[in-house]
């Protein structure tokens, strides 16, 4: 395994982070335990979760993923060996079963306390805002919206003030944002220069099918010392190649949840086929080529990988040992020029 530090901290994290949004739905508690055992045996010390998980979110399964992780850490007695990240769910119809008061002070306090209880710990290493309160372009929304009907009022300073209080209590060590755009990213960072907590990470989608992060957010990361925690680096499994030629495995995510179609449009499948040919040309697995590409980006602090089967997980973690040649990178860029960012 390779390691780095969460930016501006002494918190050492593996370059591969274990994503857990399948725990409690596609994966049972035992399977979640087995995944965490395998990942930590292979050197992973960074686990990412959210109160929202498992996905798709439902009231019946609310926060079951955090409960599974908490039980596992309690059983292993290894909390001090794990860097733990979780998130407060943003507002909207999708999360009305969780709460309806956004990122208010009461919402933040109750969300943190709930996660601490479920995770069976007294502190969270990295606490993230899962998506914005305001109307904005995230979760696959490609085009600009006038936001004319958005009732949200700017409250970044209040959010940071409340997070500062929570950090001072010892319940949270560091903070991050997720599914954010450059405008708010810079707002948070500018405010942090006035004795407010710094946003040290941003968790956004990034993969061969979605490199939109490079357009604006990557420069902020490089110039402001913030790290990307890349999620969906395989595009919901599309970049494993298992959906090529019309295949739809029975237990696959897209078969079980066809509404999760963000990464499986016609152009995404066409680009995936071209990337598959590159991987074969260079004697690589498509999954490992796609993950190695993400691992190598200078603005990426950690690559959040997930799987439903242990053999998939092992292959994904082993991508840390793959270094792509310049020939491979050149071939990847040729496809990117032809079909740029087919999955927003």
pLDDT band (50, 70, 90) for residue 15: very high
Confidence of residue 134 (pLDDT cuts 50, 70, 90): very high
Counted residue by residue, the chain has a size of 344
Residue 250 lies in a domain: no
Domain presence at residue 158: yes
Q: 120 lies in which domain range?
A: 3-237+293-325
Is residue 251 included in any domain, yes or no? no
Q: What is the predicted pLDDT for the residue at 256?
A: 67
**How far apart, in whole angstroms, are the C-alpha atoms of residue 296 and residue 288?**
12
For residue 116, tell me if it sits in a domain.
yes
Tell me what the mean pLDDT of segment 214-235 comes to.
97
Instruction: Give the model's pLDDT for residue 255.
Output: 62
53 is catalytic: yes
Tokens standing for residue 14: 């593996």
Strands (E) in 68-110, as ranges, are: 83-88
Q: Is residue 340 part of a domain?
A: no
CA distance 125 to 86: 8
> Could you count the other beta carbons within 10 Å of the beta carbon of residue 60?
6
Domains of the chain: total: 1
The CATH number of residue 95's host domain is 3.20.20.100
Structural domain contains residue 208: yes
Q: Which of 53, 188, 206, 275 is labelled catalytic?
A: 53
Q: What percent of the chain has pLDDT over 90?
A: 87
- The closest alpha carbon to 240, from 277, 207, 194, 272, belongs to 272
Mean pLDDT of 305-311: 96
- CB atoms inside a 10 Å sphere around CB 275: 24
102 belongs to a structural domain? yes
Q: Is residue 269 one of the residues assigned to a domain?
A: no
User: How far apart, in whole angstroms, are the C-alpha atoms of residue 110 and residue 101?
Assistant: 11
Summary mean pLDDT of the chain: 95
- Give mean pLDDT, residues 223-241: 96
Is the distance from CB of 124 to CB of 172 less than 8 angstroms? yes
* Confidence class for position 141, pLDDT limits 50, 70, 90: confident
- 238, 15, 322, 247 alpha-carbon torsion, rounded to 10°: -10
């Amino acid at each position: 395994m390779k390691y780095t530090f969460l930016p501006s901290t002494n918190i050492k994290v593996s370059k591969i982070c274990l994503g857990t949004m399948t725990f409690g739905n596609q994966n049972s508690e035992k399977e979640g335990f087995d995944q965490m055992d395998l990942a930590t045996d292979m050197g992973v010390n960074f686990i990412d979760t959210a109160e929202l998980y498992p996905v798709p979110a439902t009231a019946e399964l609310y926060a079951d993923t955090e409960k599974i992780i908490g039980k596992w850490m309690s059983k292993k007695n290894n909390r001090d060996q794990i860097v733990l990240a979780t998130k407060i769910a943003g507002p909207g119809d999708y999360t009305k079963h969780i709460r309806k008061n956004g990122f208010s002070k009461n919402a933040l306090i109750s969300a943190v306390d709930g996660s601490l209880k479920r995770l069976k710990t007294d502190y969270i290493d990295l606490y993230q805002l899962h998506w914005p309160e305001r109307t904005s372009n995230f979760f696959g929304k490609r085009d600009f919206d006038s936001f004319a009907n958005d009732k949200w009022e700017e409250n970044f300073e209040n959010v940071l003030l409340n997070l500062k209080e929570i950090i001072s209590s010892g319940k949270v060590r560091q903070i991050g944002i997720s599914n954010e755009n450059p405008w708010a990213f810079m707002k948070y960072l500018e405010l942090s220069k006035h004795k407010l907590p710094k946003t040290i990470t941003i968790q956004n989608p990034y993969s061969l099918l979605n490199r939109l992060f490079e357009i604006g957010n990557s420069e902020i990361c490089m110039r402001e010392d913030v790290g990307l925690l890349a999620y969906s680096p395989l595009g919901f499994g599309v970049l494993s190649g298992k959906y090529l030629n019309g295949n739809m495995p029975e237990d696959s995510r897209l078969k079980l949840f066809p509404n999760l179609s963000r990464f499986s449009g016609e152009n995404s499948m066409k680009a995936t086929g071209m990337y598959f040919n590159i991987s074969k040309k260079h004697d690589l697995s498509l999954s490992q080529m796609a993950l190695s590409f993400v691992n190598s980006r200078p603005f990426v602090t950690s690559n959040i990988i997930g799987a439903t089967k242990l053999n998939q997980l092992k292959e994904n973690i082993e991508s840390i040992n793959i270094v792509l040649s310049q020939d491979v990178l050149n071939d990847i860029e040729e496809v990117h020029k032809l079909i740029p960012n087919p999955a927003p």
